[in-house]
Each structure stands twice: as structure tokens, then as C-alpha cells.
A and B are shown apart, each in its own frame.
Chain A
Amino acid sequence: MSVRRFRPVLLPLAALLLVTATLSGCSSTGGRRAEQARSRAATAGGAVDTPRWTVAMVTHAGAGDAFWDTVRKGAEQAAAKDNITFLYSNDAQTQNQVQLIQAAIDQRVDGLLVSLAKGEALTDVLAKAKAAGIPLISINSGQEFSARFGALTHIGQDESTAGKAAGTELGRRGRKSVLCVIHEQGNIGQEQRCGGAKGAFGGTLQTLYVDGVNLPDARAAIAAKLQADPAVDTVLTLSAPLAATGLQAVQDARRPVELDTFDLGTQVVTGLQAGTVGFAVDQQPYLQGYQGVDLLWLYRYNLDVLGGGGPVLTGPQILTKDDAAALAAYVARGTR
């Protein structure tokens, strides 16, 4: 008797089992269906009478970044509301981001959203966008370059200001010695966050460099530092994934250390609720995408510009235990 003889029977049988299991095993609460219902409810209604415009967003993000996914979600929802075709592309390498911006210009988009993390390197290509008459709004990083490149406005958070807000809050909470964890060595924005916090905070603040793409290693490094330096009573991380890693490291170190962080994520909100995370400094990525698309729509529709020549700030917003319960649902659906 060989397996071969059973083959004609096996396949339909497996299919039948699968169908029965799917039909009879339906959950009436939660899961994918509930999520779909929620998202239908969120995007329904409210259409505008403007023609179908196209807006492209080109960022310096790496692939699969949770933060940028939230930015995209905001942009997509604004685009659905404003009758806009939204195109997204991203590349962490300068020359590739430049080529993607050029590709957007080639496609004759009606508006352009660009993150200016690479600063000067984008001068030429953004001059071409201007020459082609494409309105530009810069988002997230590169506030200082925004006006020079002829952007209508900049939507984002000033990193030094955000750092200062964190420092003030740390002081208010009576922390004495803070460890600021930089997970991308040489990222100017991260240096500004720690620097800003140090300036506004009364106690001592040291920086620790860890490898942000090697989380087990980062966890060990933070734990080792906490064990070696008993004076440290607070860890300040600069992103949601690192906050989760920092929480594990605090557990490893086996002593009461407060963890505070920049940015939101599921684990950060649970931490806020449980009291393991003190506060989070949020820059509202959803708003950066949503406002970017919406402001371009307003500009095309009504020549409206927000910010009066300065940036439109989406942060810093200090979130604590009091806000956590309300935020949990929004984080779960990926808009906070």
C-alpha cells in the first residue's frame, strides 16, 4: 500500500476539513472581521468634489518600520477623504531616495511630501520639483531645510524641543540620574533628543550607545549598564521598540528603575497602564501623514497654507498613565 493510491482522496478531504473548520469555528468577537468592520466605519462617508489628484510621499525610512507605517496610515486616510491617489515610496539610501523623488516628478504628481533627513543632498531634485510646479511639504525631519527648499510648510516635531520637554518632565518627576539610550549611532535627531533632555533636566544624564537593529544585544547592554551603575534610576529610550527592550533590561537588572520613552507603541501603552513606563513623548506620526496630504489638498483647492512660514508642530506631547486607557484602542488599530 503506498501513499500514492490515497492521493486523489487526500486533497478533497483536506479541503473539506479546512472549509468546515473555517465555517464552524467562527469567532463572533474580535479578530480580522472586527478589524475590517472598524476600518470600514473609519473610512466611510465625507467625499469632496475636487478632481482626482495624485500625491506622492517619499521618505528616508527603512523597510517595515512601525513608525512610518502609522505615518502612511494617516496619509492614506486623508487621501481617501480628499479623493486623492496616494503613492508611497521609501529608501534609506540618499541616492535612492533622490531617484524616487525624481520618479514622482516624472509621474507628474499634484503634490509632494518628503522627509528631509538627508538635508543638502536633496537640493537639486527638490529644485526640479519646484521647476515642475509641484507643491512640496516636508514632513518629520529636516525642519531647518524646509524653507530653503521652497516647501509650503514643515510638519513634524523639533527634536531639541521634544528633548527639553522630556527633560522638564524628568525633573518634575524627581528623577536623579538618567540613562539616555541612543540606538542609531550618529543619528542627529537622537543626539538632539538626549541633548535637549540634558539641558532641561537638573540631574545627571549619561548617554549609552546600543545597536538598534540587534535588540538582544541592546537589552544586554542596557542591563549591564544598570548593574554597573547603581546611581541610575531612570532609563530614557528614543523609540517604541527600544522601550520594549529597555523594559526587559530593567527586569534583567532586578532593581526598581523607571523607564520613559519617546514614541508610542502597543508595549509602551501597556507599560503606561501597568505603571512600568513613566511617560511617553509622542510626535503623533499619524498626524504628520494626515496633515501632509490634507494640507496639500487645501493648497490645491483653496491656496491655503498653514504655519505662517514656520513649522507646524505635531509634538512633543507628554503622555502618562492618565492618557493610556483612552490611547490603547488607537494604538491597537495602528493610528497612534
Chain B
Amino acid sequence: MSTDLLVSRPPGRHRRARPELGAALAAVAVLLFFSVVADSFLRASSIGTVLYAASTIGIMAVPVSLLMIGGEFDLSAGVLVTTAALTSSMVSYQLTAVTWVGVLVSLLVTLAVSGFNGWMLGRTRLPSFIVTLGTFLMLTGANLGLTKLVSGTVTTKPIGDMQGFDSCRWLFASELTVGGMTLKATVWWWLGLVVVGSWVLLRTRYGNWVFAVGGDAAAARAVGVPVGRTKIGLYLGVGFCAWVLGQHLLFSFDTVQSGEGVGNELIYIVAAVIGGCLITGGYGSVVGGALGALIFGMVSKGIVYAQWNPDWFKFFLGAMLLLAALLNSWVKQRAERGR
């Protein structure tokens, strides 16, 4: 087994264009478009709102992009965020514990669920679509069922007056106002996660394993890449980020609605795809996923600032995303032909 070979980049990646190039251009185009169409889009406070919207998608787009590069999906990512928030809230409240206890238990639970996804995948060799669809449905039911069982209603009890809430809130949900622009803690988490995710993908041996596993799992296994463990690692990344976002929701809103999060998993996947991650795996970047989230945030809030009829909201959103994706693939083709 020669692991030295795997430390260097796979040869194929040098020839291709940077995966995030198209997304970067699309992001600029969307920014210019809404700057012209919507008067209030470029106000400091609006930029803060757009960045916040982008960050709540972007935090999850980081691990979902990595997972997609590794050739897998996670359909449970959306409700796992709600699970993380619910667990943290209910553990703290029911045990009357310092909120940090709930936060840590929640981390263990989300890592266990996502680890289960990865382990199940490696064990059964079933498609990740099936495995995570199963956990998605189970979590959706468990979120509602357990919350009603424990709290008596579908909403958790407020924990704002409990010890540790303020420090947790500072870490996950504080905000900083710079010249009229309010930056929420999620924006810093997002940036941090993008940097770490990018570094892992491009500068570590594990990152090369991710590319190898997503490109051709059988070939990767043949040259000694631990395919199963690599994928479990990717799923644990999803769990960790779902935990971060879940804690943000809890500590900024104080209570959690148990039925939420359904459908968000597709938005994370959309962000990764717009960002240039190949849906079949083996190609993509974390920065691309982040740009995808930014585009999604700008479009979804830009439509509101432009005061377009909300009945058509989803239509506009879909059309803008399709245009962004088209621009993205066009740029990529041009760049590849040019080399």
C-alpha cells in the first residue's frame, strides 16, 4: 500500500477549472441584479439580513458539499437540525440543568444519528438515498412524538431564564452591529466552517480520500483508502454542523417547534450543486457550496426587497436558481475548453 501517492493531488484535478468559478460569477450577477431592482437591497441592515439568511443555509452547505464530493447524500440533514435544537432544549429543561448540559447531550445525539447513517451505509452498501430517507422519516416522527410525550405540546418550553442560557446565546446566537449592519453569530460560524472544511478538503490526506471515495469507491478501496471510515467521517461532519445550527435556532428563539426543518435538506443540496459540486461525486469545493448558499440567500431575500408578488415567490426562486446553475455550467465549460 502506498499512501504517499494519496498525499499528492489526484492528477485529474489539475486539468479542470476551479469548481467555484461559475458560482462566483453567478453570485456577482445576482448581487448586481438585485442592487438595481430593489432599492433597499444594498442598505447596511438589509445586507445583514441577507448574510444571516445565507449563513443559516451555508453552515449546512459545508458538510453537505463535502458529502456530495464524497459521492453521498444526506436527506436527514434538515430535520437533524431540529432534532439537535429539541434535544438540547428538552434535556436542559427536564433535568433543570445548566443549558450547557443540554448542548453537550445534543452534540452526542446528533453525532450518534449521523454516525449511524454512515455506519449503516458502509454496513449494508444500500444507496445513501434510501438509508437517509429512512432516518429522515424516523427523525420527523420522533421529533414530534418525543416532544409531545415530554413537553405535552408540539413546542418546547422556554428556557430563556435558565442558568447558562446567556453564555450559550453568546456563543451561538449573539449579534454584532457594525455601522447599521447586524452580523449574527451564524455568519462567523459559517466563515469558520468554510475555512476549516476547505482546508481539510484541499490540504489534508483525508481530503484526498474524500475525492478518491467520491470519484471511484472501488478504485479508492483498491489503493488502500478506508472507504467506510471516510464516509462515516463525512456524515459526522453533517451531524456536527446540524448541531451548531440547531443550537443557534434554540438560543435565538428560546423555544423550538418540533415539526420544522422538513424540506431544508434539499436547499442544502441545491446550494452545493449551484456551487459546482458534482451530483455524482468526486468533484466540487467547499467555497462553491458557500457561494451557492450566498446566492440562495440573496435571491430569497432579494425577491422580498424587490416587493415582487409573494404568490410567485417559489417560481422566481426556481428560475433564478436555474439561471445561476446554467451560468455556472457555461462558465465551467468555457474555462475547460480554454485550457
Contact = CB atoms under 8 A, between A and B. Distances in A.
Interface string A85-125: 00111100111001110110111100000000011110110
A95 B249 contact: yes
A15 interface: no
Interface string A31-69: 000000000000000000000000000000001100000
Chain B binding surface, main DSSP class: helix
B40 A106 contact: yes
B304 A89 contact: yes
Interface string A173-200: 0000000000001111000000000000
Contact of B144 (A107, A119, A186): A186
Contacts of B49: 99, 102-103, 106
B128 interface: no
B301 interface: yes
A121 B254 CA distance: 6
Interface in B284-323: 301, 304-305, 307, 310-311, 313-314
B84 to A, nearest CB: 14
Contacts of A102: 49, 52
A105 B261 CA distance: 25
Nearest to A107: B40
B203 interface: no
Contacts of A124: 252-253
A88 B311 CA distance: 9
Contacts of B329: none
Interface residues of B, number: 34
B302 to A, nearest CB: 10
B94 interface: no
A186 B259 contact: yes
A124 to B, nearest CB: 7
A90 B313 CA distance: 10
Nearest to A105: B45
Given A88-B310, A186-B144, A94 B52 contact: no
Nearest to B257: A94
B166 interface: no
B167 interface: no
Contact of B253 (A63, A103, A120): A120
A188 B153 contact: yes
A299 to B, nearest CB: 23
Contacts of B158: 120
A306 B260 CA distance: 35
Contacts of B144: 185-186
Contact of A187 (B154, B249, B261): B154
Interface string B35-50: 0000010010110010
A123 B53 CA distance: 18
Nearest to A186: B154
B310 A103 contact: no
Interface centre among B43, B49, B249, B259 (most CB of A within 10 A): B49
A119 B160 CA distance: 14
Given A99-B49, A107-B305, A94 B253 contact: yes
A78 B304 CA distance: 21
A99 B305 contact: no
A118 B155 CA distance: 9
A90 B314 CA distance: 12
A250 to B, nearest CB: 29
Nearest to B40: A107
A124 B155 CA distance: 18
B43 A63 contact: no
Nearest to B46: A106
Interface string B86-116: 0000000000000000000000000000000
Contacts of B310: 88-90
A121 B253 contact: yes
Contacts of B198: none
A120 B89 CA distance: 14
Contacts of B257: 94, 118, 121
Contacts of B53: 99
A103 B39 CA distance: 12
A172 to B, nearest CB: 31
Contacts of B260: 93-95
B255 A186 contact: no
A120 B255 contact: yes
B63 to A, nearest CB: 19
B57 to A, nearest CB: 10
Nearest to A90: B310
Interface centre among A87, A90, A94, A105 (most CB of B within 10 A): A94
A75 to B, nearest CB: 13
Interface in B13-46: 40, 43, 45-46
Interface in A188-222: 188
A95 B56 contact: yes
A119 B155 contact: yes
Contact of A121 (B40, B255, B314): B255
Contacts of A123: 254
A87 B304 CA distance: 9
Contacts of B253: 94-95, 98, 118, 120-121, 124
Interface string A128-172: 000000000000000000000000000000000000000000000
Contacts of A63: 313-314
A98 to B, nearest CB: 7
Contacts of A95: 56, 249, 253, 260
A94 B161 CA distance: 21
B24 to A, nearest CB: 24
B117 interface: no
A107 B40 CA distance: 6
A238 B180 CA distance: 45
Contacts of B229: none
Given A186-B148, A186-B258, A186-B259, 8 more contacts: A64-B311, A93-B260, A102-B52, A106-B40, A118-B257, A120-B255, A121-B255, A186-B153
5 contacts: A89-B313, A93-B260, A106-B305, A120-B253, A188-B153
